[in-house]
Amino acid sequence: SKMTVKAVKMPCTSANIYTKVPDGGWGWTVAFAFFVVEALTYGIIKSFGVFFNDLMESFDETNSRISWIISICVFVQTFTAPLSTVLSNRFGHRLVVMAGGLLVSTGMVIASFARSVVDMYVTIGIVSGLGYCLSFLPTVTILSQYFDKRRSLVTAVASTGECFAVFSFAPAITALKEQIGWRYSMLSVGVLQLGITACGSLLRPIVIREQEEVKAQPPEESTETKYMLENEQTCTSIESIDSGVDITTSPSNVPGKTKAEPKSEEPKQHGQNPVENNSTPPEPKSKLLDFSVMRDYSFICYAFFGLFATLGFFAPSLYIIPLSRSLGISKDHSAYILSAMAIAEVFGRIFAGWVLNKKPIRKIYIELICVILLSVALVAFPFASGFWGLMICSVYFGFMLGTVAGTHIPLLAEDDVVGIERMSSAAGVYVFIQSLAGLAGPPLAGVLVDTTKNYSSAFYSCAAGMVLGAVFLALVRPCKTGLCHHQQQQVEESTAGPPPELPDDFIDMDIGKAENSGKGSDSV
């Protein structure tokens, strides 16, 4: 049962300390904050397509050059992911997310006054892109720490914030543009994104302390003290502790492996070498960013999956409205298609979370099936004709996108990939690797559209990337279970240093001390 070890007086500023992962509690507040952060980050990015034609007309630019706005934004967001991890580990998730919200809002507000597409590259691409990274990644990381058994379901449901945002923002911004123009509409979006800062203030840190350790400390100390007193009375074990033989070769002889302080104090009282006081190493500092995950073959395959799958995440949302307009569909009906895609994505995320929570098969296999079906959805778009044909493809794509987009980052916490202990660093490295696809994806699709004069080519490029992602995802589990185990073991052996060399007379010196002690007692 859940047990709070330490009472918290200031609910929004103090850390939560539990004896086990709470699977609820303040985690529900964090889940709500993640919902809103998703809406104001990825929801805005996916709704940016409503400004696409306005920017082309205002700046007299091509598809590919306008696509670079979101491309740079996504690249900066993913490329700076390790920086987000380092700052979160150093200053805490709350402060980093609040700073990210300020950057997101500032970039969008300044962009509303832009006079060229290059200004958009700097404001939305760099400034807001960095803010998106500092806002999203720390939020999803701390949410995963608050849940264990319900992690997949809660994360999937909370991630539907971006879907509700697209569903509501796309028609709202379209209607707002008709009244006040695209510039003031973009300014309003920037002011709304200040809500990220408020959500960041709700991200209270969480600390897990085992209940057994808390209760066992007093008895261990008394037992340890009694043990050392017996050693003083018999005068038989002090020198063996001094030499390090018992500690190194027989740690089970000393009760309480975490209570080595009394042993280091004893030689000091007897005038021994003070270097022995440091026999217990200090508690190691946690790494700000652990790149050891790059030696895990399963993580490498999963990172390549994210790299290629990212090609199919953003382009359909950017090009669905231009595609519908090229088919003779009105602006209002085009916005409805984008909204229908967002609604379907909500159900896809919830469905994926529910299935992953039930675990009929391994979660990595469920993800693989969803990626394959998502590839089929991308291929179906070029064959759509008319409003209803495009609507059916959008609903199908939205549902399958929800099953993948809402689970691919939280899946890092599963043992098939890296596990919850290394999830924070793994998420930073994983999203960093995605940055290349985030940079190349939309412009590549834009170049294909400008070259072929057909929006279908953008969807074909997305489908090709998703298929490659499915191939690497299929290799994650085999690499974890032994296909690459032998190679990985060889790498670890080659990187591990040789064992420390002990002096030849190490054991002899200890035996000599024991013999001298025995002779001294006999003479007495």
What does the pLDDT profile of the chain (524 residues) look like in tens digits? 343 444 344 444 566 677 677 777 888 999 999 999 989 998 888 888 788 888 888 888 887 788 888 888 888 887 888 888 889 888 888 999 999 999 999 999 999 999 999 999 999 999 999 999 899 888 888 888 888 778 878 888 888 888 788 778 888 888 898 889 899 999 999 999 999 999 999 888 887 776 554 444 454 444 444 444 444 444 443 333 333 333 333 333 433 444 344 444 443 343 334 334 444 444 445 566 666 777 788 888 888 888 888 877 766 777 887 888 888 888 778 878 877 887 888 888 888 888 877 777 788 888 899 999 999 988 888 888 888 888 998 899 989 988 887 778 777 777 777 777 777 777 777 877 777 776 677 777 778 888 888 888 888 888 888 999 999 988 888 887 765 555 556 555 655 555 555 555 545 555 555 555 555 545 44
List, as own/partner pairs, every contact residues 324-327 make where C-beta atoms lie below 8 angstroms and the sequence separation is at least 24, other chains included: 324/387, 324/390, 325/53, 326/455, 327/385, 327/386, 327/390
Indicate whether 232 belongs to any domain: no
Q: Is residue 442 part of a domain?
A: yes
Residues 178 and 68 in one domain: yes
- Check which CATH number belongs to the domain holding 355 and give it: 1.20.1250.20
Residue where a domain stops, chosen among 165, 190, 210: 210
Domain, as residue range, for 55: 16-210
Q: Which residues contact 402 (CB under 8 A, 6 or more apart)?
A: 160, 163, 344, 345, 346, 347, 348, 349, 350, 351, 352
What 3-state class would DSSP assign to 140?
A: helix
Name residue 215's amino acid. Answer: K
**Residue 225 belongs to some domain of the structure:** no
Residue 40's pLDDT is what? Answer: 92
From 189, 210, 231, the end of a domain falls on: 210
Looking at the structure, do residues 194 and 332 belong to the same domain, yes or no? no
181 with 306, same domain: the answer is no
> Which neighbouring-strand residues pair with 18?
4, 208
Are 202 and 299 found together in one domain? no
* Same domain membership, residue 177 and residue 57: yes
Check: CB of residue 257 under 8 Å from CB of residue 251: yes
Strand partners, 206: 16
Pair 62, 180 in one domain: yes
Q: Same structural domain for residues 179 and 327?
A: no
Asked whether residue 354 is assigned to any structural domain, the reply reads yes
Distance of CA 101 to the CA centre of its chain: 18
Round to whole Å and give the CA distance between 16 and 393: 45
In terms of domains, do 307 and 444 share one?
A: yes
Write out 173-229 in H/E/C secondary structure: HHHHHHHHHHHHHHHHHHHHCCHHHHHHCCCCCEEECCHHHHHHHHHHHHHHHHHHH
CA separation (Å) from 178 to 59, 65, 114, 175, 188? Answer: 19, 25, 19, 5, 14
Q: Is residue 245 assigned to a domain?
A: no
Q: Is 344 inside any structural domain?
A: yes
pLDDT at position 234 is 43
Task: Tell whether 293 and 201 lie within a shared domain.
Answer: no
> Are 31 and 141 members of one domain?
yes
DSSP state, residue 406: T
Domain boundary among 193, 210, 227: 210
Number of domains in the chain: 2
- Check residue 22 and report its DSSP letter: -
Whether residues 486 and 349 share a domain: the answer is yes
Is 427 contained in some domain? yes
What does the pLDDT read at residue 515? 54
**Does 266 map to a domain?**
no
* Same domain, residue pair 22 and 167: yes
